[in-house]
Structure 1
Amino acid sequence: MDASHTPEVPERLELANAPEPSRPLAEGDDALPRRDFLRLAGAGAGFMLAGCAPPVAFASAPARGIERGRGPSPSSSHVVIVGAGAWGGWTAYHLRARGVRVTLIDQYGPGNSRSTSGDETRGIRSSYGDRAAGELWTPWARAAIARWKLFEQEWGPAFRTSFFHETGDVIMRATREPFITKTIDLWKANGVRHEVLTGDEVRKRWPVIKADDITVAITEPDAGVVRCRAATQAVAAVAQKMGVELVIGRVTPGPIVNGMMDGVVLENGTVIRGDQYVFACGPWLRKLFPYLENRARIPLGHALYFGVPQGDARFQFPNLPSFNFPGVTGWPMLPVDSRGFRVRGAIAPTVAAGASAAPAAQPAAPPAAPSAAADPTLQDPDLSSRWTNQDRVDGARRFLAARFPILANAPLLETRACHYESSVNQNFIVDHVPSAGNAWIAGLGQAEGFKFGPVIGDYVAQRVLGIDGDPALKKAFALPTEQYEGPPR
C-alpha cells in the first residue's frame, strides 16, 4: 500500500493507533467508541461524538434525507470504495464513523492531478436558481457550507493550515434575469441570509470591479472557497487514522453472480472482496460501466490563476468575495498558499472595458477549444491532456480587462484542468450498479459535486447501510434511463 499521496495527520494530535478495521464493535455501539474518538481527535479538537455522528460534530448541521440510524449490523460489514476523491473519501469517512470496515482504493491517490478533486480550490455556495434540481440542492448546499466550517474548525488547526475560507459570494448581472429571481426565491424558502444590491451599491462596495453595466447583484455572505486538493487529502488522512485502509491501484469490477458483485480485481490479479461496493470514481465511471456511456459526459473545465499586484491586498482574501458573471466565476487569492486570483470559464468575449449599462453588441467568438469529436482522448481521463490552450488564456485576459482592469496584465501563475461529470438528467447518481444488489454508483457531480462532499458522503453511507431516507432524493438520484443525442462533446 502506497499512501504517499495523502498527508499525515499531524502527530501533535497524539493520535491513537486506529482500531482494527475488522474488529466488531460492541453491541449497541453507534460509531467509534468514545475513548477512541477522544484519542483520535486530540485534546484540542473541540468536538464530542454525539450518537452516530462522525468525529466532526456534523449532527449540528443536519441535512435533508440523512438519518442518524446506521442500518443493520454495520460492525460486521466490509465496504469497498473505488475512488478516493471528494465523494469517495467522505463516504469512507462516514461509513467508518458508523462502525463499518472500509477499504478505499484509488488508482492515483487522493487529490491527484487527473482527478476532479485535483484542482487547488472550489467555490462553496448555494445559488442554484439556474439548476433543475435547485430545490433539492439548495438545502444540501447550505448543510455542506455548515459542515465545511465545522471541518475547518476541527482540522484546520490540527493540520496547521486552513481549508475553508468564508469569502462570501456575489452574483452580478446587467438585468434581473430568471437565475437571479429563482435563486432569491430558493434562498427565502430555505432561510438563507442574503443581500440584493443595486449596481451603484456594487460599485461603491467593490470599486476594483468594473461594473458599469451591472444593475443588480445578489450576495451570499457566508459562502466561501475550499482548498480542494488539500481538503481531499486531509479527509483521506483522517479516514485512515479512523481505520480506513487505503490501497493505491487500478481495479476492474468483478463478475456479477446471482445479482451480486463478486469482488474488484487489481491489475496484479488480487481480488478484494467486501459485502458492498461503492464506485465513486468520477469521470472513470463511464470506463467501468458501459451503461453510462451515452448517459454521462465528462467535459474538461479550466481554471487559471493570476498573480496579484505586489503589496495590493484588494484582490486577496478577505477583501474581495468570490464572484459570478455570465459564464465566468472566480475568487480572490487565498494568502494561505497564494496560488493566485482564480478565473474559470472565460473563453467567450465579455463586456468591453468601457461598456455602459445599455446592452452592447458582442464581437465574434474566438476559435473554439478542441472538441471530443476532434480529439477522442478528451473523453478519457487517463489520456486527456490537461494543458490549457491559448484561447482560454486570452479569454481570461479579456475578462480581467473588462471586469478587473488593474489585473489586465497580471502574470499567469498556473492553470488547472479537470474533468467534471454531467448526467443526462442533470442530477447526481446514487443508485445500484445495474443487476448488482450489493454495488453502487455514486457520482456525476454536475461540476458542483465537490462542495457537497461532507453531505453526499453521509447520504451514500446510509444508502449502503440500507437506509433510503427521503424518497424524493432516492428518486432524483436514480440511474437515468434517457440518453444524450448526438456524439460526445
Structure 2
Amino acid sequence: MSRALVIGAGVFGLSLARELAGRGRSVDLVDPRPAGAGSGPSYADTRILRCAHGPDRFYARSAWRARTLWRELEAETGERFLHPTGALLLATGPDTGWERASLGTLRDLGIPVEHVPAAALPGRFPGCTAHGVSFAVHEPGGAVLAARTAMRALAASAARHGVRTTVGTAVPDGEGARVDGRLHTADLVVWAVGPALPVLFPGLTGVVAERQDSYWLTARGPWAAGGPAWIDRSAEMYGVPALGGAATVKIVPDSVATDLAHVHAAVAAGELPPHARRYVATRFPALAEAPVERREECAYAWSPDEHFVLDRLPGTRDGWLVGGDSGHGFKHGPAWARYVADVLDGTAEPLPRFALRGPSAAPGAHREPPGEES
C-alpha cells in the first residue's frame, strides 16, 4: 500500500488526508494540534460559501461541487455545519464588471443565481439599504459554514478512513519531514501548512501570511437573523448573519496586515474601525449603534495573484506544496482535495495557474472579493 505523509491539518491538509485514505493510501497526518481541534485559520467561527468568482469557471464549479460534498459529510457524521443562508454580492463603486461576470458565469454553468435590481433590494432583503448599489447578485444556494464544526467532522471522517495523526511540529528534511527531531518519510509527502508556507519554504512562492480582524456585533433588526451572507467587494466589506439563534452578527472590514501581531493598531479591541462603523450605519441602519461583543483574529496565506498553490517541491522525488488559500479557500476544501488527489494519482494535470510562482506574480491577475474566510 502506498504511504502518504500530509503536513498540516487545516482544511486543505485534513481534506486531502481524508481523500487519499479513501482512495486506499496509508496516510499519516502531522500538525502541532490534534486534527479537528486546531487554532489556525481553518478554525475560525464561520466561512462564506459562494460560487461567484467573476469569470473564473474552475473556482465556481469547485465551490458548487464542494457544497454537495459538505452536505455529504454532514450526512456521514451527523454534524450540522452548512447553514443555507444564501449569499448576496452587492455591486457598488464605479466598476461592477466582476459582479456582472459572476452572474454570467454562474448562469452558464447552471448554478442557481439571480440578478436583483437595486430598487428591489430593500424589499427582498429587509434591513439592507440600496445606497450606492447598482445591482446585486443573489446566490440562493450560498451558505455559511460553521468552520470549527466542519473541521471536527472532517477529522472524525478522516479517522474512520484510517488517517493516523501525529501531534508535532514538522520541518522539511530532504525527501521527508523531521517531526520534533524524528525523521518521517513516505512515498508521497504533501506540505499543506497554510500561513507557515513562506516560513518553511522561503522564496519558493509569493505567498505571504496576512491577518484580518472580524467583529461580532449585537444582532439587531430584520437583517440580523434573516438575511443572507453578503459581500461588498468595492467597499471591501462582508458579513454573516446571526446563525441558529445566535445573538451576534459578523462584520469584517477587509483590512489586512503582514505583521501578524496586530491589524488595527489604533483601534481598541472592543471597537469597530470608524470606516466600518460608517459603512454599517449606511448599509444596515439597525446595526448603526450595535456594540461589538467580541473580535476574532484570522490569518491566511495570500498569493499575489490569489490563485491556490499546487506544485512539486523542487529537489524532491514526490514532495508537493499545497496552499495559498488567499482568504477564499475554506469553502473549496473537499472539492479541492479531490482535484489535488487526482493530480497526485496522475489522473489529472495540474493547471498552470497553480504552479510555484515567486513574489513577482502579478497582483490582480485574479482578483477575489474580500477574504471572507475569517
Q: TM-score, normalised by structure 1?
A: 0.68
Q: Which one-letter code corresponds to 1:189 in the other structure?
A: D
The equivalent of 1:428 in structure 2 is: 308
Residue 397 of structure 1 deviates from its aligned partner by 2.3
Q: Does 2:169 match 1:250? A: yes
Q: Which one-letter code corresponds to 2:81 in the other structure?
A: F
Task: Check 1:203–1:485 CA distance in 2 against 1; reply closer, same or farther (3 A cut).
Answer: closer
Q: Does 2:53 match 1:128? A: yes
Q: Is the 8 A contact 1:279 1:440 kept in 2?
A: yes
Q: Does 2:193 match 1:281? A: yes
SS in structure 1 at match of 2:63? helix
Rounded to whole Å, the distance in 1 between the matches of 2:178 and 2:340 is 23
The equivalent of 1:168 in structure 2 is: 86
* Stretches (4+) displaced over 3 A: 109-114, 384-396
Structure showing greater Rg: 1
Residue 188 of structure 1 deviates from its aligned partner by 2.0
Residue 387 of structure 1 deviates from its aligned partner by 8.1
Q: Is the 8 A contact 1:88 1:280 kept in 2?
A: yes
Residue 314 of structure 1 deviates from its aligned partner by 4.6
The equivalent of 2:228 in structure 1 is: 321
Q: Find 1:304's aligned residue among 201, 212, 215.
A: 215
Q: Does 2:13 match 1:88? A: yes
Q: Which one-letter code corresponds to 1:86 in the other structure?
A: V
The equivalent of 2:368 in structure 1 is: none
Rounded to whole Å, the distance in 1 between the matches of 2:171 and 2:36 is 21
Rounded to whole Å, the distance in 2 between the matches of 1:426 and 1:242 is 32
The equivalent of 1:181 in structure 2 is: 100
CA deviation vs aligned residue, 1:4-48 (integer Å, no higher than 9, x gap): xxxxxxxxxxxxxxxxxxxxxxxxxxxxxxxxxxxxxxxxxxxxx
Residue 303 of structure 1 deviates from its aligned partner by 1.3
The equivalent of 1:341 in structure 2 is: 249
Q: Which one-letter code corresponds to 1:238 in the other structure?
A: S
Q: TM-score, normalised by structure 2?
A: 0.88
Aligned length: 357
Q: Which one-letter code corresponds to 2:183 in the other structure?
A: V
The equivalent of 2:25 in structure 1 is: 100
Q: Does 2:370 match 1:479? A: no
Bigger fraction of residues in strand: 2
Q: Which one-letter code corresponds to 1:406 in the other structure?
A: A
Deviates more, 1:178-187 or 1:111-120: 111-120
Q: Which one-letter code corresponds to 1:194 in the other structure?
A: V
Q: Find 1:458's aligned residue among 338, 344, 347.
A: 338
The equivalent of 2:178 in structure 1 is: 265
Residue 82 of structure 1 deviates from its aligned partner by 0.5
- Say what the alpha-carbon RMSD is for the aligned residues: 2.5
The equivalent of 1:398 in structure 2 is: 278
Residue 225 of structure 1 deviates from its aligned partner by 0.6
Q: Is the 8 A contact 2:196 2:209 kept in 1?
A: no
SS in structure 1 at match of 2:133? coil
Residue 168 of structure 1 deviates from its aligned partner by 0.7
Residue 100 of structure 1 deviates from its aligned partner by 0.8
Q: Find 1:137's aligned residue among 56, 59, 70.
A: 59
Q: Is the 8 A contact 2:37 2:152 kept in 1?
A: no
Q: Is the 8 A contact 2:87 2:228 kept in 1?
A: yes
Residue 113 of structure 1 deviates from its aligned partner by 6.4
Residue 395 of structure 1 deviates from its aligned partner by 3.5
Rounded to whole Å, the distance in 2 between the matches of 1:85 and 1:417 is 16
Task: Check 1:94–1:484 CA distance in 2 against 1; reply closer, same or farther (3 A cut).
Answer: closer
Rounded to whole Å, the distance in 2 between the matches of 1:346 and 1:479 is 26
Identity %: 27
Task: Check 1:200–1:282 CA distance in 2 against 1; reply closer, same or farther (3 A cut).
Answer: same
Structure 1: segments with no counterpart, 5+ residues: 1-75, 256-260, 348-368, 379-383
Residue 304 of structure 1 deviates from its aligned partner by 1.3
Q: Which one-letter code corresponds to 2:304 in the other structure?
A: V
